A and B are shown apart, each in its own frame.
Chain A
Amino acid sequence: MSHLADARWPLPQGVVDLLYEDAADKRGLEAALRGCFRVWSYDELIAPTFEYADTLASEAGTQLAEEMYRFTDRDGRTLALRPELTIPAARVAATRLYDQAMPLRLCYIGPVFRYEAPQAGRQREFTQAGVELIGAAGPAADAEVLALTAEALRTAGLTRFQLALGQMAFFHALLVELNLTPVALHTLQSALDRKNAADIAAALAAIPASPALHRTLLALPALSGGPVILHTARTLCLNPAMTAALDHLAALHELLHGYGVADHITFDLGETRAMQYYTGITFKGYTPGVGFAICSGGRYDDLLAHFGRPQPAVGCALWVDRIALARQRQGWQPSPLRADLLWLGELSPACLAALIELRRRGLRVELHLGDAAVDVQSARAPRLAHCVDADTVRLRTAEGTRTLSITALMHEAATW
C-alpha cells in the first residue's frame, strides 16, 4: 500500500484543490447562478452523488456510460458516480413527483465525475449548474430554457457568448426517409458533426437514397446562421415532420427575439451529435477565451418514459469551472480576500466584546495571534487596531497612527 502514501503525488489526476480567491470566486459564481435560477422560479434538487450504474447509464449514450466511475456495494451491485445531473432529475421527476402539478422547474448545482482526459476548465471532477423544465412541450418552454441560459451566462459576467441551436426533430424526421444501420448512422453523424463535405458524400455513397435526400443531407452543414437559414431549409424538407420541426424553430425565434436574446443564437441544422436522449432542440454555448463549450442543453421528451412516467422535458447544464475560467481570461478579477481590520493587543472582555460586535456588523476582523510585530505595510489588512486598555485603541493605517476610544472606533467602523 506504500504507493497510496506517496507524498510526491498526493492527488490522482483530474481533481484539484481550489484555494482562497479561486474557491471564493467559484462559490460566488454558484451563488449568482442559484440566484438567477431562483428568480425564474426554479427550485433546487440536491441529488445523491452516486446511484445504481444502470440508472445513470440507461439513456446517457455509450460515450458517457464508458466515462462513468463505477464501483460495487457490499451486495455486488454496481454503483456509479453521477456523470451529469439530467438523468437524476428525470428519475426524481418520474418516480417521486409524477403526480405534482406540471410543469416542474428544478435546478441543481454540484460536482459530476467523468473518467476522461482533463481539458481546459474540465477536470475529472467538475461542477455543473443546470435547470430542467419538466412537463412542458412547445416553443414557449424551449424559449424559457434558452433565455434563462443566456441570462445565467450574463449573470456570470459574460457579455460575449453564442448559443449554437440545433433541432434533432428535423434530423430524426430526415432519418425516417432512410433505413440506416447503426454503423452507417454513426458514420453519417460523425461526418455531419465535423462539417466534412467529402466524408458526408462518402457516407452517402454507401446509402441508397433519392437525389432529393442526398441534396438535403449535403446541404445540412451549411444550414447554419441567423433565422434566414430556416427559409432555405424549407425548400429541402421531404416530409411534414421536417416542416413542423422548422415551424417550431421559427416560433422559438420569435420568442427569443422577445426575450432579447436572439442575437446570441446561431441556428445550425447540421448539429446532430448530442446526448443520445435529445429529441428536439439541442444547444451548446461558446464564449471567447475557452475553446470548448461552456454549456449544453436540449429537449428530451422520451427520457422520463424510461422511468415509467412519460413527460416532455427540456433543460440545460452550465459548466461552472469553464465559465469561471472564461471570465478570468476575459479580464475578470476575482475579489481579493483581505481582512478589513487586524486586531492586536490585550484580550480583555471589553476588547473582545468590541471584536465580536465588529464581526456581527459584517466586517472581516482577524485576530493577531503570537508576539511577532506587524506593520501596516506588511499586514494582511489595511487597518490595525491595537487594544491598549479597556477603553483605548491605537488605530494604525497607511495615513498614520491615532488613539481613540473603543466607542469612537465602533462609530468610525461604520464608514469602512
Chain B
Amino acid sequence: MVNRLAADRLVVALPKGRLLEEARTCLEQAGYGLRAGDNDRQLLLPSAAPHLSYVLAKPGDVPVYVENGACDLGIAGLDVLREHQPDLLEPLLLPFGYCRLAVAGPAARGDHPLRLEPNPRVATKFPRLTEAFFRSRGVSAEIIELSGSVELAPLVDLSDLIVDLVQSGQTLHDNGLRELRVVLHSQAVLVANRAAWRLKTAVIETFVADLRRAVEEMSNA
C-alpha cells in the first residue's frame, strides 16, 4: 500500500455495484484505468497511474471513507450523499448513475395529493430524505426502515407507500406499484475530503481536470 499521507498520493473510493462499470469507463478515458486484481474479490486495486490507487467499497460506505480521510476522493450517488449528509466537497457531477428517488404506492391508489394523507406508513432505505419530504408537506409519516426489496412492503401490508430508487420503473410495475412523486433526482458525483483538498491540491486538481475532460469527450462522442 502506498503511503497515503504523502502529498502526491491519491486513494480513491469506488462504489461496488451498479455505478462501478460506468465509473470504470470514465476513469479509463481519463487515464486512470483500474488494473485488474488477482481475483475479483480484491478490494484494493492499483491504477494505470502509479500515484493513484483504488478502494472498492459498498456504495453507502464511500462517503464514510472519504469524509474520515481514509480515502481522498470517491465516487458516490447523490441519493446517498443527501441521505447521510457527509461534510464533503462535490467538485464534479458525473454523467452516469441516473435514477430518481420516488414515492410509489399501489397502482390502484388514486393520484390524490400526498399532503392529504393522515399518517401514511412509508417503507424506505432512505429514512432521512423520506421524513424531510413528508414533513415539508406537513404530513407526519410513519417511517419503516428496510435494507432491501422495499417494493415488497405494500404487497404484504407492511406499509402504505414506499420511497425507493427508480430507474426504468419496471420493478415497480412488476409489483403492482406506481410512481407518484419524485423526491430527488440522483446521479454519480465525485466527492473529495476537505483536508485532502487543501493538502494534495496539485494532484487532485489534475485528477478533477482529467476526469472533467473525459466526461466532456464521452458526452461529445
Contact = CB atoms under 8 A, between A and B. Distances in A.
B199 A287 contact: yes
A367 B196 CA distance: 50
B107 interface: no
A380 to B, nearest CB: 34
Contacts of A164: 198
Contact of A287 (B66, B70, B189, B195): B195
A290 interface: yes
A291 B197 CA distance: 10
Contacts of A162: 198-199
B194 A198 contact: no
Given A162-B198, A266-B198, A286-B198, A291 B93 contact: no
Contact of B70 (A195, A197, A291): A291
B90 interface: yes
Given A160-B7, A293-B194, A286 B93 contact: no
B127 interface: no
Nearest to A191: B90
Contacts of B91: 195-197, 221
A120, A198, A288, A289: most-surrounded residue (chain B CB, <10 A): A288
B75 to A, nearest CB: 15
Nearest to B195: A286
Contact of A286 (B5, B66, B194): B194
Contact of A194 (B7, B66, B90): B90
Interface residues of A, number: 25
Contacts of B193: 291
A130 B57 CA distance: 38
Interface string A204-228: 0000000000000000010001000
Interface string A137-167: 0000000000000000000000010101000
Given A288-B199, A291-B69, A330 B89 contact: no
Nearest to A196: B90
B179 interface: no
Contacts of A197: 91, 93
B201 A225 contact: yes
B68 interface: yes
A292 B69 contact: yes
Contacts of B62: none
A75 B194 CA distance: 45
A284 B89 CA distance: 15
B67 interface: yes
Interface string B1-43: 0000101000000000000000000000000000000000000
B88 interface: yes
A160 B196 CA distance: 12
A224 to B, nearest CB: 8
Contact of B68 (A120, A195, A221, A225): A120
A195 B69 contact: no
A291 B69 CA distance: 4
Contact of B67 (A160, A221, A291, A330): A291
Nearest to B200: A288
B198 A291 contact: no
Contacts of A286: 194-195, 198-199
B201 A290 contact: no
A291 B199 contact: no
Contact of B194 (A199, A221, A292): A292
A231 B2 CA distance: 37
A329 B5 CA distance: 9
A160 B199 CA distance: 8
Given A266-B198, A286-B195, A291-B195, A194 B69 contact: no
B5 A330 contact: yes
Contacts of A290: 69, 195
Contacts of B66: 291
Interface in B179-221: 189, 193-196, 198-199, 201
Contacts of A292: 69, 194-195
Interface in B44-84: 66-70
A14 B54 CA distance: 32
Contacts of B195: 286-288, 290-293
6 contacts: A120-B69, A195-B90, A197-B93, A291-B67, A291-B70, A291-B195
Interface of A: 119-120, 160, 162, 164, 194-199, 221, 225, 266, 284, 286-293, 329-330
The 10 closest A-B pairs by CB, nearest first: A291-B69, A286-B195, A196-B90, A288-B5, A162-B198, A194-B90, A286-B198, A291-B68, A195-B89, A291-B193
